C-alpha cells in the first residue's frame, strides 16, 4: 500500500551558502539544518500536530556557462526527522534524493528567467521498484530595475501536492554593501555577504512537500 503525506511547515533558520570551483565548472554549495517546533502533517482527513521536526538539506549545483545562459546541474539530498509517538501514522524519517536540472537565461538586459526541475525519489526508504518518483519544477523571472533592486515573480509546480501550483514573488533589495533584503516568497530572508564566496542569511521557508511511503 502506498500512502501520500503532505508536510506544511513554516521554518525559521540560519543558513549558509558558498560558491567555489574552476572558471569552467563553477560550483554552488548549500547546507541547511533546521529545527521546527509544533509542526503539522496531513494524510487525507487525518492530521498529526504539535511534534518536533528537524530538516537537513544538502545541495551541490554546477553552473557552467553555455551559449543560452548558465546551466544548473547537480543533486540535492533532504531528510526530515520527527519526534513522534509509536502509534503515529508517519515514519520517523522521510528522505529524498533528486537531480537538479535547469538553466538561467536572459531575455533582455532587464529580464532574466530560470527554469529548474528536481526529478528524484521522495520516500521513507529507497526500495527498488517502489513508486516514489516525482519531478517538481519551478519557473521564475527577474526584472532588474537597478543593480540594487530587482523584482521577482515565479511559480512552483508539483502534481503530487494538495495545491499543485503555488505562485511566489517579491523584491530583492541591496540596501547596504553587504546586506540584502531578499523578500521573495516562499523563502524570504535577510542576507549578509561575509565575503565573495560565502553568504549567511536568516529567514523563513513555507514548505509543502510530498512523500510516498509503504
User: Which residues make beta-bridge pairs with 168?
Assistant: 154
Give the C-alpha separation, 205 to 39, whole Å. Answer: 13
What is the average per-residue pLDDT within 168-182?
93
**51 within 8 A of 84, measured Cβ to Cβ:** yes
pTM over 0.85: no
What is the distance in angstroms between the CA of the first residue and the CA of the last residue of the chain? 6
pLDDT in tens, 102-142: 999 998 889 999 999 999 988 875 555 556 888 999 999 99
CATH number, span 3-209:
2.40.160
Amino acid at each position: 500500500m502506498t500512502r501520500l503525506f503532505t508536510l506544511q511547515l513554516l521554518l525559521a533558520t540560519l543558513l549558509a551558502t558558498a560558491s567555489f570551483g574552476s572558471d569552467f565548472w563553477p560550483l554552488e554549495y548549500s547546507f541547511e539544518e533546521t529545527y521546527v517546533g509544533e509542526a503539522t502533517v496531513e494524510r487525507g482527513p487525518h492530521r498529526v500536530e504539535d511534534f518536533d521536526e528537524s530538516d537537513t538539506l544538502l545541495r551541490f549545483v554546477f553552473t557552467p556557462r553555455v551559449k543560452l545562459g548558465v546551466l544548473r546541474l547537480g543533486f540535492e539530498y533532504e531528510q526530515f526527522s520527527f519526534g513522534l509517538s509509536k502509534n503515529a501514522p508517519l515514519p520517523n524519517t522521510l528522505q529524498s534524493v533528486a537531480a537538479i536540472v535547469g538553466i538561467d537565461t536572459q531575455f533582455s538586459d532587464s529580464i532574466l528567467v530560470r527554469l529548474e526541475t528536481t526529478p528524484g525519489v521522495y520516500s521513507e526508504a529507497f526500495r527498488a521498484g517502489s513508486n516514489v518518483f516525482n519531478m517538481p519544477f519551478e519557473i521564475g523571472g527577474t526584472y532588474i530595475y537597478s543593480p540594487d533592486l530587482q523584482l521577482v515573480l515565479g511559480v512552483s509546480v508539483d502534481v503530487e501536492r494538495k495545491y499543485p501550483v503555488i505562485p511566489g514573488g517579491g523584491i530583492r533589495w541591496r540596501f547596504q554593501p553587504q546586506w540584502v533584503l531578499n523578500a521573495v516568497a516562499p523563502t524570504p530572508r535577510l542576507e549578509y555577504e561575509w565575503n565573495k564566496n560565502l553568504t549567511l542569511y536568516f529567514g523563513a521557508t513555507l514548505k509543502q512537500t510530498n512523500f510516498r511511503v509503504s
